[in-house]
């Protein structure tokens, strides 16, 4: 049943993606959209039901639908009890993530963003190992704290627009009414001239997205949670939910707050690099398979963040492509770990070995996924990472070099993981394991095919993204914004700072 619903969703999304790729966008706003729907919701405060899809969200939607379908397929094999409830909650989560991806009204977006937590909370709290309660609470409180601040910033934007005569939460209208250059407080020892209300609003949004993504140092909920959650949950959690942060940065962060983003760009890029290197180093030092994948995930998400914060065509293109790629790769990795754990009863890399001889099919699929994860040319990981590094290089040479270092370490920890599991002598726990069953192969095969297909022929993804990304780049570029005359109070503060 769930599989049918999830499959139907995949078909619908496929139609949408096809539509986005073949038709031209409507709307004269700064971000042209497809399939726009708009209806009144809370007229008193100007919130509306306004949804639409563009080249950035189309493929993420496809990823969303596909990964949830995968999750639905593996549920019966990898969870044992209360499957109906699990499936119901999973579909609720899918509804919420879909809502996040299509909302063009800030209040509606927030509702889905925060509402996503309810099914996720129950999924994480009901299913998983004995540490799940603590890990789940940590995750929920982290994210709630972040997103409540975002709510505050959304309200700030609303009342700014209200002051300008628009009673609205609508993204398109808000994008056209630039934030006033209000006076703020000078931040000592930095290039940041003022801590204006707009800056605070951006920081609130950025915190919510950075926690969800997560960017180091807001990542501490992730390894514990990934370790305690069961595989089907992980497939869509790591595959889709963590991408919502990246999507949020692209759709809302860099477009609504071009000024603050540019002021903070060095810091944001530095944090992205920190995520890449820290995640990679941590992945290198773990022995638990799930923790290796968890930290690898942090490192890969750092790449996506780096692409976004490059604030240019290549970077954001690469980020969109990499969101899709990483979703495919991480889902595959967690599936492999889940299968191995179910067969051998352990996730400790030191106890595993020799699976190559016992599970040849798994070996093949896992090899492809590993190569994708370490970004070998010919796989999709390479396409995304190279595009992102191009973008980063356009910004400044150093981040690109450091990101390259991250790729280097990635091949180290991925091969260490691969060899630890697959090669070497057959151990006690791997003595009598069965190879993949047909259904498991059916789940892994499309992932492996996609990894190679998108590595060789990335054009469909790239072209759809490329038609929408220029709009975002233009919005993020402060030099093309309408010039806002500074108020006299602002000038007074600035002169005072200079003194």
Interacting residues with another protein (CB under 8 A): 40-45, 47, 107, 110-112, 114-115, 117-118, 121-122, 125-126, 133, 136-137, 140-141, 144-145, 148-149, 151-152, 155-156, 158-159, 162
Contacts of residue 420, Cβ cutoff 8 Å, sequence gap at least 6 = 349, 350, 352, 353
8 A C-beta contact, residue 74 and residue 235: yes
Rounded-to-integer distance, Cα 142 and Cα 148, Å: 10
Q: Is the peptide bond before 109 cis (omega within 30 degrees of 0)?
A: no
Judged by beta carbon, residue 179 or residue 331, the one nearer another protein is 179
Least distance between another protein and beta carbon 352 (Å): 31
Q: How far apart are CA 389 and CA 112, in angstroms?
A: 32
Shortest approach of another protein to residue 156 CB, angstroms?
6
74: left (phi over 0), alpha (psi -120 to 50) or beta: alpha
- Cα gap 170→48, rounded to integer Å: 7
* Residue number with CB closer to another protein (108 or 373): 108
The encoded tokens of residue 140 equal: 């929920």
Least distance CB 128 / another protein (angstroms): 12
Distance, in Å, from the CA atom of 451 to the CA atom of 453, rounded to the nearest integer, reads: 6
- CB of 102: closest distance to another protein in angstroms? 16
Phi, psi of 183 (to 5 degrees): -70, 150
Nearer of residues 157 and 468 to another protein, judged by Cβ = 157
CB 368 within 8 A of CB 451: yes
Buried b or exposed e, range 279-295, using 16+ CB within 10 angstroms = bbebbbebebbbbbbbb
112 or 365: whose CB is closer to another protein? 112
> Which C-beta is closer to another protein: that of 157 or that of 254?
157
Nearer Cβ to another protein (40/129): 40
Burial of 438 (0-12, 13-18, 19+ CB in 10 A): exposed
Q: Minimum distance between the CB of residue 92 and another protein, rounded to whole angstroms?
A: 10
Min separation Cβ 44 and another protein, Å: 5
In angstroms, give the least distance from the CB of 142 to another protein.
9
- Report which of 184, 228, 225 is spatially closest to residue 202, judged by C-alpha positions: 184
Comparison of 141 and 484: residue with beta carbon closer to another protein: 141
Cα first-last separation, the chain: 70
| Integer Cα distance of 68 and 176 in angstroms | 35
* Least distance between another protein and beta carbon 136 (Å): 8
Nearest to 406, CA basis, from 452, 378, 375? 375
Residue 42: CB minimum distance to another protein, A: 5
Minimum gap (Å) between residue 125 Cβ and another protein: 6
- 155 or 452, CB closer to another protein? 155
Other beta carbons less than 10 A from residue 469's beta carbon: 24
Nearer to another protein among residue 76 and residue 88 (C-beta): 88
Q: What is the distance between the alpha carbons of residues 139 and 241, in angstroms, rounded to a whole number?
A: 12
- Pick between residue 41 and residue 361 the one whose CB is nearest to another protein: 41
Nearest distance, CB of residue 145 and another protein, angstroms: 4
For another protein, which is the closer residue by CB, 480 or 487?
Answer: 487
Q: Are 34 and 107 in contact (CB under 8 A)?
A: no
């Amino acid at each position: 049943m769930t599989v049918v619903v999830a499959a139907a969703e995949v078909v619908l999304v496929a139609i949408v993606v096809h539509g986005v790729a073949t038709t031209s966008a409507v709307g004269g706003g700064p971000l042209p959209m497809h399939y726009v729907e708009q209806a009144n919701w809370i007229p008193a405060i100007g919130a509306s039901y306004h949804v639409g899809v563009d080249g950035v969200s189309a493929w993420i939607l496809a990823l969303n639908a596909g990964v949830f379908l995968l999750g639905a397929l593996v549920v019966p094999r990898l969870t044992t009890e209360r499957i109906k409830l699990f499936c119901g909650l999973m579909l609720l989560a899918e509804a919420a993530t879909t809502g996040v991806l299509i909302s063009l009204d800030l209040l509606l977006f927030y509702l889905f963003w925060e509402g996503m937590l309810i099914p996720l909370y129950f999924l994480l709290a009901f299913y998983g190992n004995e540490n799940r309660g603590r890990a789940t609470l940590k995750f929920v409180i982290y994210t709630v704290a972040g997103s409540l601040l975002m709510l505050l910033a959304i309200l700030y934007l609303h009342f700014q627009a209200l002051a300008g005569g628009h009673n609205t939460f609508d993204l398109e209208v808000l994008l056209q009414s630039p934030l006033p250059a209000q006076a703020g407080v000078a931040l000592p020892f930095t290039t940041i001239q003022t801590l204006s209300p707009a800056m605070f609003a951006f920081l609130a949004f950025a915190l919510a997205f950075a926690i969800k993504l997560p960017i180091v140092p807001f990542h501490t909920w992730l390894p514990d949670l990934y370790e305690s959650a069961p595989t089907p949950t992980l497939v869509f959690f790591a595959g889709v939910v963590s991408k919502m942060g990246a999507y949020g940065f692209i759709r809302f962060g860099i477009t609504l707050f071009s000024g603050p983003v540019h002021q903070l760009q060095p810091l944001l890029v530095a944090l992205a690099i920190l995520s890449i290197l820290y995640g990679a180093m941590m992945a290198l030092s773990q022995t638990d398979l799930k923790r290796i994948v968890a930290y690898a995930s942090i490192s890969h998400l750092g790449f996506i963040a780096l692409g976004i914060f490059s604030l240019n065509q290549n970077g954001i293109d690469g980020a969109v492509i990499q969101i899709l790629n990483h979703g495919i790769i991480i889902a595959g990795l967690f599936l492999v770990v889940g299968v191995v754990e179910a067969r051998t009863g352990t996730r400790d890399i030191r106890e595993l070995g020799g699976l190559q001889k016992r599970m040849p099919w798994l070996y093949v699929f896992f090899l492809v996924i590993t190569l994708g994860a370490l970004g070998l040319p010919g796989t999709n990981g390479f396409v995304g990472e190279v595009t992102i590094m191009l973008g980063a290089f356009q910004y400044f040479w150093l981040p690109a070099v450091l990101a390259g270092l991250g790729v280097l370490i990635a091949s180290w920890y991925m091969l260490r993981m691969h060899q630890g599991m697959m090669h070497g002598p057959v151990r006690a726990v791997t003595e009598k394991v069965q190879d993949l069953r047909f259904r498991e192969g059916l789940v892994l095969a499309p992932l492996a095919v996609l990894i190679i297909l998108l590595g060789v022929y990335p054009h469909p993804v790239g072209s759809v993204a490329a038609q929408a990304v220029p709009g975002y780049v233009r919005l993020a570029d402060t030099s093309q914004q309408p010039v806002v005359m500074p108020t006299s109070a602002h000038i007074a503060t600035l002169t005072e700072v200079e003194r």
